[in-house]
Structure 1
Amino acid sequence: MVIVVGSSNSNTSSNLNTSGNESAVIKRSISRANSGFVSSIMAEPCISCTTFNILAPIYKRLDQQNQSLRESDFRDTWLTRNQRILDWLLYERSSIICLQEFWVGNKELVHMYQERLGEAGYMTFKLARTNNRGDGLLTAVREDYFRVLNERDLLFNDFGDRVAQLLHVQSVVPFLKTQQGTQQEILIVNTHLLFPHDSSLSVVRLHQVYKILQYLELYQRENKLNNIPIVLCGDWNGSKRGHVYKFLRSQGFVSSYDIAHQYTDGDADAHKWVSHRNHRGNICGVDFIWLRNPNKSRKPLKISWAEAVFGIIKYQLQKVSLAENDAFAFLKADNKGDFITYSAFCEALRQVNLVGRPYGLSFQETKDLWAQADVDGNGVVSYEEFKQRMWNSTCSERVEDDCNENVEDSSQGPKKEVIGFAVKNASLFPREVEKGTWPENYSLSDHARLNVVFSPVRMQSS
């Protein structure tokens, strides 16, 4: 695998406050790292990953009374802030860096990031959002850690003009090899999902994740990559209580930060940390580094997708105070029988804003949902089917694996040894956000930086 020489710097960064004179400390640390200093703390092989929404200057408001006044109008201001961001990134020297709201529309800023990261030994890949939105993604990987085998751009071409990057990388440091004698490979995704301006847009964000997972399945199948870890990074614009979180959990992914801090998926732990203060002033935890090891069993993707959409339907009905019996009556509409017809189902989806809009469910997706609900295939959905598949069907959250053990896949079939990752540690900066508060003196971004360290482990997989 790879040796992390910079992740031990997180101990130092935790001692820096959010408004203090961190520049001198950072510059000294960078100088020491560039001169060959290697920390003795990290004696075991690890890889590190950072995800950070750096707040594009075209979106950064400078005056709440004058919303049109943006940082992009003041070169010295945005240049200084982004130089400080780069100072931090080069100080931490993660193996993988995933940035969101990267101002791809400004050549000077792009050149600055590419030049400084390139001089530090990173390969960089940028991707603009569709329809010339001005910002996009930047993914950087250290050349002394990885060889990039492939890079793919995923253009959702949807309501939010969102995109994703997929990097297929291979370790260049000979530590752990597969049974076939090849170096370890990893799939890395960087993305930034749509902001949920209202609850009806939940299905758009679910679509975006569905497209990512569909593409990952296709890419793995085409390249015969069933037994490698997958790391998903980015700003997911949704919390642990949302549909996207549950959808990803049902597909075998775990939140690295929550694993490191032994937080559960339950409501009791949902607000213990935050990573974003949005333009409405709300603080929430939306930045994740997801991990799926090759030994994780999961439901078929289409079934998990249907369950997630049924969850949105239930949420929308509960929002207007419809309990189970009332929800069934709403879905069957004027039908005299005790069942739901397909036409009534489609009309109900229209009334909860899931179809009939540019960003709604497609005709085929609606048919697929209906096929999941109509368990016996008789053309109607009975009350029992409604309870089983639509009302009480939730994404199965696999929480039995804390990702720090070599848990064997319980599925049938011969086992073979594969390499996955354990979550060694994870931290957010500024450190106040780990306590669920947002420091007023923090000015690097409206997001916190999330850093995770993974260590390789051998595990059994079908």
Structure 2
Amino acid sequence: MQSYHNRSRSIVQRSRFNIPCFSSSPLSLFVVLAAVPLPIYFSGLLSSFSGRNNKAASTMRVNSNIIGSTNITCTTFNVLAPIYKRVDQQNQSIRESQFRALWFTRNQKILDLLLHQRSSVISLQEVWVGNEELVNMYHDRLASSGYTTFQLARTNARGDGLLTAIHKDYFQLVNYRELLFNDFGDRVAQLLHVKSLVPFPLNENQHVQQEVLIVNTHLLFPHDSSLSLARLHQVYKILEYLEAYQKENKLTHMPIILCGDWNGSKRGHVYKFLRSQGFISSYDVAHQYTDSDAHRWVSHRNHRGNICGVDFIWLCNPTSSNSRKPLRTSWVEAVFSIIKYQVQKASIAEDKAFAFLGENNHSDSLTYSGFCQALQKVNLTGMPHGLSFQETKELWDRADIDGNGVFDYEELKKMWNMTVMVQSEKCKESIMESKKEEGEDKEEEAIGLKVKKAVLFPQEAEKGLWPENYNLSDHACLTVQFSPVKVLCS
């Protein structure tokens, strides 16, 4: 299966970026999505897919009469590659990939589900790209339903990869890029920049085609706490590349959607890092959940039998230029939060932290060499996916606030209290009055996105439960509906 159809090649600029392991090089993972899909009736979404009856519920069908709608529907789903799906609990080496009838039938049902949803954008993870028959199945059925597909395998022939599909009746493709992390997890990401075909009225005299950046990715699984940094590196590269891509193409005031399996819950460092950069979890916004409501819903039962919410569709609307924290500042705060977590995990009180981190039990401060040893003690250095020399030096410069060459208790307290602050949405709908003080930058109208609805299938996942009779995947399918909204940005 080719990454995109011949029909779209004339308008696609396709680039592949190889990113050195954990360097500061940007990671390209955008899909700029133009808003235009048809709204979905969300009540009773896909309920008839659970259990033995896998026919689509009539309430899932898209209202085909609303062709001119500017709403966007976006689905993300980790479809569990047959090479990873265990079919015998007594013999973990037996996988579904060994039985064609099993994986063929299951993936046909997955496609039934996706095509009845008819989302504007479909982002899939763990597609078995190493099997030509399965790839052709997805390609043919999606293409016959009006989708253009983009496929990207993980590096080092891992066997699975990403697939993103956009409905060609609603989107004009502006750009497509493939991003390779080149890390030990062989993770990759896709970028599509698209523009809506249905214009949105910005004002009485101007109708514009909305542009959106959308990312599809699948982060590393946190097998142990030492991988927290590796996962932060992956997200940092995505955000860094987003900034670079927008600057390179002179893009301003554009919403960003990040889709995928993030392999971490709302309690994790990745979640807090993205929130600090102004991203919101669409599902949580739709259900009016707070950042602390990590128990309300789940989307995955992992190979250890644990259930948690790890699949997200993140949204970041255009904001004023000075409302978002610098990316590097958020990164440093996120790394210090890992150190704090490791100390708290060891049940060490704040005033005993130096004794834990230092070279002896009587430490009340750290020199640079002691600081480096402390980072190794909390698994942030001394391994291939750890901090680089430059990153370690940057952390030290931030820690040694007074620049006297010693990291002392007062500086530690400041670092301890430096939480990864959550950014609130700064954009306002343009119908709201904006009271600008004299001398402030003039605000401009732009088009953002508003979360309207969000649903998980199976429905039990919305209650924090995992049904035993659900067998499409070990992940739930998440679908979010957005509508365009006018915002004011400086």
TM norm. shorter chain > 0.5: yes
Q: Provide the C-alpha distance between the structure 1 equivalents of 2:60 and 2:419, rounded to a whole number of angstroms.
A: 48
SS of structure 2 residue aligned to 1:219: helix
For 1:290, the equivalent position in structure 2 comes to 314
- Structure 1 position 66, deviation (Å): 0.5
For 1:192, the equivalent position in structure 2 comes to 218
Instruction: Identify which of 474, 482, 490 aligns with 1:446.
Output: 474
Residues 23 and 370 (structure 1), Cα distance of their counterparts in 2 relative to 1, 3 Å cut: same
The residue identity in structure 2 corresponding to 1:377 is G
- Structure 1 position 400, deviation (Å): 6.3
For 1:5, the equivalent position in structure 2 comes to 38
Answer yes or no: is 1:429 the counterpart of 2:453.
no
SS of structure 2 residue aligned to 1:329: helix
Instruction: Identify which of 47, 50, 68 aligns with 2:72.
Output: 47
Q: Provide the C-alpha distance between the structure 1 equivalents of 2:99 and 2:428, rounded to a whole number of angstroms.
A: 45
Instruction: Identify which of 4, 22, 26 aligns with 2:54.
Output: 22
Q: Decide whether the 8 Å contact of 2:265 with 2:309 is kept in 1.
A: yes
SS of structure 2 residue aligned to 1:291: strand
- Structure 1 position 382, deviation (Å): 2.4
Q: Provide the C-alpha distance between the structure 1 equivalents of 2:451 and 2:88, rounded to a whole number of angstroms.
A: 40
- Structure 1 position 255, deviation (Å): 0.1
The residue identity in structure 2 corresponding to 1:431 is Q
- Structure 1 position 272, deviation (Å): 0.4
Q: Decide whether the 8 Å contact of 2:36 with 2:197 is kept in 1.
A: no
The residue identity in structure 2 corresponding to 1:294 is P
The residue identity in structure 2 corresponding to 1:5 is L
- Structure 1 position 45, deviation (Å): 3.0
Aligned-pair Cα RMSD in Å: 2.6
For 2:357, the equivalent position in structure 1 comes to 331
Q: Decide whether the 8 Å contact of 1:51 with 1:234 is kept in 2.
A: yes
1:77-92 equivalences under 5 Å are 77-92=102-117
Answer yes or no: is 1:273 the counterpart of 2:297.
yes
Residues 191 and 410 (structure 1), Cα distance of their counterparts in 2 relative to 1, 3 Å cut: farther
The residue identity in structure 1 corresponding to 2:192 is L
Q: Provide the C-alpha distance between the structure 1 equivalents of 2:343 and 2:361, rounded to a whole number of angstroms.
A: 19
- Structure 1 position 335, deviation (Å): 10
Q: Provide the C-alpha distance between the structure 2 equivalents of 1:232 and 1:133, rounded to a whole number of angstroms.
A: 23
For 1:168, the equivalent position in structure 2 comes to 193
SS of structure 1 residue aligned to 2:135: helix
Q: Deviations over 1:143-177 (max 9, x none)?
A: 11111111111111112111111111111112345
Answer yes or no: is 1:121 the counterpart of 2:151.
no
Q: Provide the C-alpha distance between the structure 2 equivalents of 1:19 and 1:405, rounded to a whole number of angstroms.
A: 46
Q: Deviations over 1:46-72 (max 9, x none)?
A: 100000000000000001110110000
For 1:262, the equivalent position in structure 2 comes to 288
For 1:321, the equivalent position in structure 2 comes to 347
Q: Provide the C-alpha distance between the structure 2 equivalents of 1:263 and 1:234, rounded to a whole number of angstroms.
A: 20
1:68-217 equivalences under 5 Å are 68-176=93-201, 182-217=208-243
Q: Deviations over 1:366-386 (max 9, x none)?
A: 111112212223322222111
Q: Deviations over 1:326-353 (max 9, x none)?
A: 1133334359885321110100111111
Residues 359 and 170 (structure 1), Cα distance of their counterparts in 2 relative to 1, 3 Å cut: same
SS of structure 1 residue aligned to 2:116: helix
Residues 338 and 94 (structure 1), Cα distance of their counterparts in 2 relative to 1, 3 Å cut: same
Q: Decide whether the 8 Å contact of 1:177 with 1:184 is kept in 2.
A: no
Q: Decide whether the 8 Å contact of 1:417 with 1:461 is kept in 2.
A: yes
The residue identity in structure 1 corresponding to 2:144 is E
Q: Provide the C-alpha distance between the structure 2 equivalents of 1:453 and 1:459, rounded to a whole number of angstroms.
A: 18
Answer yes or no: is 1:413 the counterpart of 2:437.
no
Q: Decide whether the 8 Å contact of 2:35 with 2:70 is kept in 1.
A: yes
SS of structure 2 residue aligned to 1:13: coil
SS of structure 2 residue aligned to 1:108: helix
Answer yes or no: is 1:305 the counterpart of 2:307.
no
- Structure 1 position 402, deviation (Å): 10
1:338-377 equivalences under 5 Å are 338-377=364-403
Q: Provide the C-alpha distance between the structure 2 equivalents of 1:293 and 1:424, rounded to a whole number of angstroms.
A: 14
- Structure 1 position 20, deviation (Å): 4.1
- Structure 1 position 21, deviation (Å): 2.1
SS of structure 2 residue aligned to 1:64: coil
Name the structure, 1 or 2, with higher relative contact order (CA <8 Å, separation 6+).
2
Q: Provide the C-alpha distance between the structure 2 equivalents of 1:451 and 1:101, rounded to a whole number of angstroms.
A: 18
Q: Provide the C-alpha distance between the structure 2 equivalents of 1:305 and 1:56, rounded to a whole number of angstroms.
A: 32
SS of structure 2 residue aligned to 1:456: strand
Residues 206 and 273 (structure 1), Cα distance of their counterparts in 2 relative to 1, 3 Å cut: same
Answer yes or no: is 1:239 the counterpart of 2:265.
yes
Q: Provide the C-alpha distance between the structure 1 equivalents of 2:78 and 2:197, rounded to a whole number of angstroms.
A: 28
Residues 316 and 338 (structure 1), Cα distance of their counterparts in 2 relative to 1, 3 Å cut: closer
Q: Provide the C-alpha distance between the structure 1 equivalents of 2:49 and 2:454, rounded to a whole number of angstroms.
A: 18
Q: Decide whether the 8 Å contact of 1:405 with 1:422 is kept in 2.
A: no
Residues 400 and 214 (structure 1), Cα distance of their counterparts in 2 relative to 1, 3 Å cut: closer
For 2:411, the equivalent position in structure 1 comes to 385
Aligned residues: 451
Report the structure, 1 or 2, having the larger helix content.
1
The residue identity in structure 1 corresponding to 2:470 is Y
Q: Deviations over 1:206-242 (max 9, x none)?
A: 1100110111111111111131000000000000010
The residue identity in structure 2 corresponding to 1:433 is A
Q: Provide the C-alpha distance between the structure 2 equivalents of 1:219 and 1:409, rounded to a whole number of angstroms.
A: 32
- Structure 1 position 5, deviation (Å): 2.8
SS of structure 2 residue aligned to 1:22: coil
Q: Provide the C-alpha distance between the structure 2 equivalents of 1:361 and 1:29, rounded to a whole number of angstroms.
A: 47
Q: Provide the C-alpha distance between the structure 2 equivalents of 1:139 and 1:116, rounded to a whole number of angstroms.
A: 14
- Structure 1 position 94, deviation (Å): 0.3
Q: List alignment gaps of at least 5 residues for structure 2.
A: 1-33
